[in-house]
Amino acid sequence: MKERRSASQVLFGFLPEQTVDLKGGVWRVARWRQPIPQRSIDIGTLVRELKRQASPWRETGKDGGFVGDLERGHAVRVYSLDRDAGVQVDPFPRIWHCKRCRRLTNDPGARCACGGTAPPGQIPFVGYCSECGTLRQPYIKKCPDHGQHRVNWPGTASAREIVFDCPVCKRKLQEGLGMPNCECGQGRITFSVHRAASVCRISPLGTGRFPELGPT
């Protein structure tokens, strides 16, 4: 899939791990393809500003050791966008529903058991940990007898009110998307519409360049 966006949109809205709306679906930015190293950056000034802005997170134990790495002299590399190579995005979450019967599938190209032929819709909810920023797609149980599951929308934007059942035996399988513990050990995964304010990320320092820590 190819889609055109302005360079400024990419610089501020298409950072790795961000979710974006494209072609009527939800996608996660996997990487900038062939980013261009920037050699003319004053690294000393950049490192001091990174420390300043990240220090409040260190004080609450939420910087993942970032400030400490800077203080230990880890190298900082800065890249800008290669406009010709662009950005790679992947579908996220990889869960779709039939618009006719609401069965769920992980393969948007598969023919639904109900015979529906319309392009499937995508589940727009993603999980987000406010402590470490991890993104996760929902886990939705399948019927143990029939191996299928179906979504029943509540008519609201609340993930807690969604009900999943089996389209064959009508057994209720799950209500809501849960709030599991995050692997970071400090927070819980909260599910929301992918463009909700709690999920959106901002560009480091409000700049268009993407800094990366590397070995000394």
Phi, psi (degrees; rounded to nearest 5) at 161: -100, 0
pTM: 0.78
pLDDT in tens, 195-209: 654 444 433 333 334
pLDDT of residue 196: 52
Mean pLDDT for the stretch of residues 110-114: 94
Beta strands in the chain (DSSP E): 19-22, 25-32, 36-37, 75-80, 87-91, 96-97, 104-105, 121-122, 125-129, 135-136, 150-152, 163-165, 172-175, 189-193, 210-214
pLDDT of residue 34: 92
3-state secondary structure of 85: coil
**Mean pLDDT, the chain, as a whole number?**
86
Which band of pLDDT confidence, cut at 50, 70 and 90, is reported for residue 213? very low
Which band of pLDDT confidence, cut at 50, 70 and 90, is reported for residue 187? confident
Which band of pLDDT confidence, cut at 50, 70 and 90, is reported for residue 122? very high
